[in-house]
Structure 1
């Protein structure tokens, strides 16, 4: 075992921590994509690293069973995994998988509830509008929203929520919810991701309506009366209302037609290749460097 094993996790944790605290100078659409990919890859790195170390720890405890484990799943050297590392990896992995399962189950349950309610307006005077994904989904409004908002304001609401549905933002939200549940210190990453998704939908609505100020006023009006929600469905005035209104009252963000795709592709290439590179380094050290050191 060598410390290259933990390189993907260390890099992803560092990247997620930075992105959770530093605003990206990108169009919200590219910020959301980058943050969602980082969140998903960080969860994968955490669970994958833990499982990898746990498997090798089990092989340390039962060497005869290691013959039935694929070679790629074992370290490149025969040094045993320390008890402190192996036990911690096994416990953290089991906990992470349990949290992932519980989060996913809650997510599915919330979606089913939203789908069941999406067939008719919500019977509440609170102005609520949410995007419900799925074949039977759509834009779910409350009686309060229909009664208290003008036709022009409802147009803004529909454009905003349709953006969430069109871009499948529930998948982005799922990645953020997972990283926040499995790795609680990275909750700021989830919060920044949710804000980026809302800003993305705001910009789509502003482009469709043609009046950024009117979109900002509509969001502020809904936010004054709508309770906060954060889950599988995305509400109209869900996250960072003050930042969203200020952004809409300012200059439209650049589309980042070059820098956005390049950063997104670069991040995807780096994060997806870290595990494979680390595994190769691990076996390379075992097959090349360690024998050389033994000759000295």
Structure 2
């Protein structure tokens, strides 16, 4: 446990450094899944490591040791964590749990609000055309989800580009991209070192929708033109108001209107050949996840062994 308990706290640094290369080099759907699973697993392993360190400090307290019939002499001799480290771990874990709970509550409220808003949109069809000169297009998850497009956006694009836009928005709803973004946001809230993974997933979900639209349209350049023209139209018209916090759109906006996202990178990716999965980043990600799992299990096993050893003198 002396080393294994600390490694899960360091592995997110490797994941953060590899997040953008993985987002660029892997096929978007695989990259999204891999980054989301990695962020969730690393956040859980880091929290478990903090919990083990906090517990290792808790059993040093005489009252806790007496309740568990533990030998304080053995605990002080074999415990890998100094009391100061245990207290710091407990503080960090408390902050992480509180922040994650708050973020989860906000996400649940946002999803309920999105479902309600989708249900209140006029008409029975999935597509809702809003009479608004400002160029805007986004998808709202719901039962069912809805796609909202303004007349300003329809005017800015030609009919072929309309097909690309709608295919992109349908991919967001069909593949539940808001869930991937939400899970990585929760992971990044629990462990701020994982924020690059959340940023990467926000990008790969858009790339996933781009590739789905290109497959539906049969023309990658057509989708690239639609994205570029939509970005220019949105910049010119600067649509007023506020998107629902769960909306995802052609320009990659999620929760905020501050920026259209990394549009040039997406356009460049669509103008390049179809992405292919590369074994090296995939193998590296799997190796980090495997090492994290092994270290977490070893730390838990060693802590259990410490407790069993500390109980021995009182049997």
Instruction: Identify whether the pair has TM-score above 0.5, normalized to the shorter chain.
Output: yes
Q: CA deviation at 1:243?
A: 0.3
Give RMSD over aligned pairs.
Answer: 3.4
Instruction: Write the mapping of 1:244-263 to structure 2, written as runs, cut at 5 A.
Output: 244-254=266-276, 256=277
Deviates more, 1:134-143 or 1:186-195: 134-143
Q: Distance in 1 between matches of 2:107 and 2:304?
A: 39
- The equivalent residue for 2:21 is 22
Distance 1:159 1:34 in 2: 24
Aligned residues: 280
2:81 is aligned with 1:100: no
Q: TM-score, normalised by structure 1?
A: 0.79
Q: Counterpart in 2 of 1:142?
A: 150
Q: Distance in 2 between matches of 1:28 and 1:230?
A: 25
Cα distance in 2 for partners of 1:216, 1:84 equals 54
Contact 2:45 2:293 in 1 (8 A): no
Tell me the TM-score normalized by structure 2. 0.75
Q: In the alignment, does 2:180 pair up with 1:172?
A: yes
Residue 297 (structure 2) aligned to one of 257, 276, 280? 276
In the TM superposition, 1:129-208 aligns within 5 A as 129-208=137-216
| Alignment check: 8 A CA contact 1:57 1:80 kept | no
Give the match's secondary structure for 2:147: strand
**1:278 CA drift (Å):** 3.4
> Is there any run of 5+ residues in structure 2 with no aligned partner, and where?
123-127, 253-260, 310-315
Distance 1:113 1:106, change over 3 A: same
Structure 2 CA distance, aligned partners of 1:230 and 1:224? 22
Cα deviation, residue 260, structure 1: 8.8
Query: Counterpart of 1:71?
Result: none
Gaps of 5+ in 1: 69-74, 289-296
Query: Quick one: distance in 2 between partners of 1:221 and 1:129?
Result: 12
Matching residue within 63, 66, 69 for 2:68? 66
SS of match in other structure, 1:160: helix
Q: Is the 8 A contact 2:54 2:89 kept in 1?
A: yes
Alpha-carbon distance between aligned partners in 2 of 1:201 and 1:107, rounded to the nearest angstrom:
22
Q: CA deviation at 1:142?
A: 3.4
Q: Take 2:80 and 2:33, find their aligned partners in 1: how far apart are those partners?
A: 40
**How many Å separate the matches in 1 of 2:40 and 2:219?**
35
Q: Which stretch has the larger CA shift, 16-25 or 215-224?
A: 16-25
1:206-232 deviations in Å (ceiling 9; x for gaps) = 111011111111111222244797953
| Aligned match of 2:44 | 44
**Corresponding residue number in structure 1 for 2:313:** none
Q: 1:108 to 1:287 in 2, by over 3 A?
A: closer
3-state secondary structure, aligned to 2:148: strand
Q: Which residue of 2 aligns with 1:232?
A: 246
Deviations 1:112-144 (A, max 9, x none): 332233224456433332232342323233343
